[in-house]
Amino acid sequence: FFSFLFFFLVVVVVFSVNDFKMLVRLRCKEGCLRVNVQDNGTIADLLEGGNSELRKRKSKEKGQAIAQDVKYESIYNPQQTLQEAGVKKGDLLYLKLESEENRPNEMKRGEGAMASAVCANHGPNASCVQCMINSRINVHRVKETTVKSFQMDLTAGTKFQNFVLNEIIFEVDRVGILYGEVTTSEDKHEVTVHYIYEPPQNGEPNSFELKEGWKDELEVVDSLATAMGLVRVGVVVSHAGVMHNISTKELLLLGELYQPKSSKVFMFVVLAILESGEPGMVVFEVTKRFFELFWEQEKGFFCVSSKPAFTKTIKEIYVDKTYTTTIDNDYFILPVAIQPYASFLACEFGIENREGWGGRKEG
């Protein structure tokens, strides 16, 4: 009788203890953690339980917060009780790890909005149809420009054009970096170019090469622009006898010069012989999607193809309902009208980096 009574009491105690515990699942990039926690415990207790499970897996990760959603937008107060937080037995919550700190405002290559997130449907090593859709790199043709107006200082534009026409005579390409202002109203941009900086370069037929040390000189020009309240707003390139609007090499230069923290919009200007037989400038807005891919994907995502008007990608992209690794560069540009403008700036100094082409003669 006493043996039976002892066994009965042990069973009652065991079941009583288990009745006060509940299983909660915590999803993180280490997988799904199953945590037993007292139902009168707190979110902090649940967090400690999650970290205990991570230690059992010999993981170097450590949880810092628990959230209701996979994007960690609704994070629980650690002092809340599970009942106050509405956490129930069997719930699936999300454990934010210390390695998942918020990214800085200024993007780094490969660390943009397309960085991978944990799917709520399964663990980190699995995949589903929704994962495939979410991870797909979509590119579509943009139909409407965000640029309301584009103005270029008449003197700056004329001096660049005259140099190409009279000195280079379109024998080689010439590149310049546009500096100016961008004002934005209701998601529409007004771009004004005040001056053109020509970096040290070697022109080639239908191409150009920037000389070693050009970035050091660019830093000085950027400092002067900042002092005047101006920023980089685009690039101008002379084209001679080519059929494409923009080459991959030019796209990559635009991506490198674009400043994610300060650039609202970036322009590409082509000086070429128009269909009328007269020289003129054609202006394009470079799409936001190009810069997203340039900065969010790893370095080298875009690469030169055998056709100048097309760009290759190291990963498949989804274009016009088709997976491909080659895209027409025109997907990344939109035509914009150009208007003359008289800047408040004036310069009588010789123009730098024109050695060998009659440089410094023109003020």
pLDDT digits (tens, 9 = 90+) for 191-234: 999 999 999 999 988 899 999 999 999 999 999 999 999 999 99
What's the average model confidence in pLDDT over 118-134? 64
The answer, yes or no, to whether residue 98 has pLDDT greater than 60, is: yes
8 A C-beta contact, residue 186 and residue 179: no
Enter the pTM of the model. Answer: 0.67
8 A C-beta contact, residue 72 and residue 96: yes
The answer, yes or no, to whether residue 116 has pLDDT greater than 80, is: no
DSSP, res 160: H
Condensed to tens digits (0 to 9), the pLDDT of residues 309-331 reads 999 999 999 998 899 999 999 99
Condensed to tens digits (0 to 9), the pLDDT of residues 67-93 reads 988 878 888 999 999 999 999 998 989
Beta strands in the chain (DSSP E): 21-28, 31-38, 63-67, 92-97, 138-139, 147-153, 175-185, 188-197, 201-204, 207-210, 231-238, 266-273, 279-286, 302-304, 310-319, 322-328, 333-336, 339-341
Q: What is the pLDDT of residue 224?
A: 94
Largest separation between any pair of C-alpha atoms in the chain: 115
Name the pLDDT band for 275 (thresholds 50, 70, 90): confident
Which domains does the chain carry? 21-101 (3.10.20.90), 139-341 (3.40.140.10)
What's the average model confidence in pLDDT over 111-120? 49
The answer, yes or no, to whether residue 360 has pLDDT greater than 50, is: no
Q: What is the pLDDT of residue 112?
A: 46
**What is the spatial distance between Cα 106 and Cα 242, in angstroms, rounded to a whole number?**
36
The answer, yes or no, to whether residue 146 has pLDDT greater than 90, is: yes
Q: What is the pLDDT of residue 296?
A: 84
- Percentage of the chain surpassing pLDDT 70? 83
One-letter identity of residue 353: N
Average model confidence (pLDDT) across the chain: 85
Q: Pick the range with the lowest mean pLDDT from 95-109, 240-254, 260-274.
A: 95-109
Name the pLDDT band for 3 (thresholds 50, 70, 90): low
Q: What is the pLDDT of residue 338?
A: 95
Q: What is the pLDDT of residue 114?
A: 41
